[in-house]
Chains A and B, each alone.
Chain A
Amino acid sequence: MNATTCYFVNAMADENTGIARGLERRDPDLFDQLIEKYQHRLLRYLVSLTGRRELAEDLFQETWIRVLERGHQYDARHEFSAWLFTIARNLVIDHLRRKQPASLDSMADNDDAPPFEVPAAGQPSAFDATVQREQNAQISAGMERIAAEYREALVLRFQEGMSLQEIAQVTGAPLGTVKSRIYRGLSALEPWLKGASL
């Protein structure tokens, strides 16, 4: 391990220790910072799990309340984001159990408003932007249709940039299952991508 890597690893460990101490003290300023920092990532993850923006927003608030109440359980040896996402995931499962005895799969088919918004046209040429927008729209539509487990794995991997090990930790699934979900998720989205280019 070179000096730069070592520096970043130590800095991350220090940050996690600081977070753990703040959570233990229930430091409101730390909570404000954490909510700001993880707002988009957490909401995106919750939307990917629930498929509904309003529900995701409710669970977003509940997640932070749960973090406040159980902050003393956070182990600074692990990434805070992984712990946060685990809490969010458990809340979603609790919510599903209350509504109906079901797994994450029950969230897969949802006829409500699309949770994945299509971005506005980007900076490139009008044609490229249109093609890209169409492709994004197709993939968004595909994300709504694929199994929730695949969707979750894809979001954690490609939107949150988590390692396979971290995804396994968050989802509580074996590493092999995580790999398989990512692969199957990408394969499941392939027809949607092709649909965009037609």
Chain B
Amino acid sequence: MNTDLHERARLLVALSGPAEISGTEQAWLAVHLESCTTCREFANNSRETIRSLRAIPITAGASLVSTTQLRVRQRAQELQLRQERLWVISICSAAVTLCTTLTTSVMWSGLAWVGQVTRLSPPVWEIPFAVLCFMPGILVGILMLARGTHLADRNGPYRE
């Protein structure tokens, strides 16, 4: 008999299961196993092996399950907190952007009106306006730089 036929039969034995091999293949396999002792032996051995595989017990201990559940709950809380914080930061950023846009336009109109009434040339009121706009950002930058320098002095040089 052809070696390929035995190979095919053994493969079908290994994959045996109604969902995996067709009725025609099952019928062919049954006929082949009737006539081939070697493949029949392989089929019997495979059946025994599968039975042993299913009999091998590996169970998770109760402590593993409870520890995992606890860790998952803690992590879920952390993620929840992080998400809430992110949400608050997003809301604050949106509010700050909105307020800045509104106040900038109001201040621009106000200063333009003052410039018109006092007959000042535009650069005279435009420059203070620009300074006023950029000042908070510049101040925050200076403060952060100072804090960074202070922390670097206290903790020593940055190391990987």
A-side residues, CB < 8 A to B, are 26, 28, 31-32, 35-36, 39-40, 42-44, 47, 57, 60-61, 64-65, 68-69, 115-117, 119, 132, 135-136, 138-140, 143, 154-155, 158-159, 163-164, 179, 182-183, 186-187, 189-190, 193-194
B4-31: which residues lie under 8 A (CB-CB) from chain A?
10-11, 14-15, 19-20
A35 touching B52, Cβ below 8 Å = no
B60-102: which residues lie under 8 A (CB-CB) from chain A?
60, 64-65, 67-69, 71-73, 75-76, 79-80
Task: Please give the number of chain B residues whose Cβ is less than 8 angstroms from any Cβ of chain A in the complex.
Answer: 33
CA A32 – CA B66 in complex, angstroms?
A: 9
B55 touching A39, Cβ below 8 Å = no
B138-158: which residues lie under 8 A (CB-CB) from chain A?
none
CB-defined contacts of A194 to chain B, threshold 8 Å: 45
| Known A140-B56, A158-B54: A28·B76 in contact at CB below 8 Å | yes
CB-defined contacts of B58 to chain A, threshold 8 Å: 40, 43-44, 47, 115-117
Interface of A is mostly: helix
Contact of B56 (CB < 8 Å), options: A57, A139, A164, A193: A139
Nearest Cβ distance between residue B64 and chain A, in whole angstroms? 6
Ordered by A's residue number, 29 sampled pairs between the chains whose C-beta atoms are within 8 Å are A31-B69, A35-B65, A35-B72, A39-B60, A39-B64, A40-B58, A43-B60, A43-B64, A60-B60, A61-B67, A64-B72, A65-B75, A68-B72, A69-B79, A116-B56, A117-B58, A119-B56, A132-B55, A136-B55, A139-B53, A158-B54, A159-B53, A163-B20, A179-B11, A179-B14, A179-B15, A183-B15, A190-B49, A194-B45
A68 touching B76, Cβ below 8 Å = yes
B-side residues, CB < 8 A to A, are 10-11, 14-15, 19-20, 42, 45-46, 48-50, 52-60, 64-65, 67-69, 71-73, 75-76, 79-80
A117 touching B52, Cβ below 8 Å = no
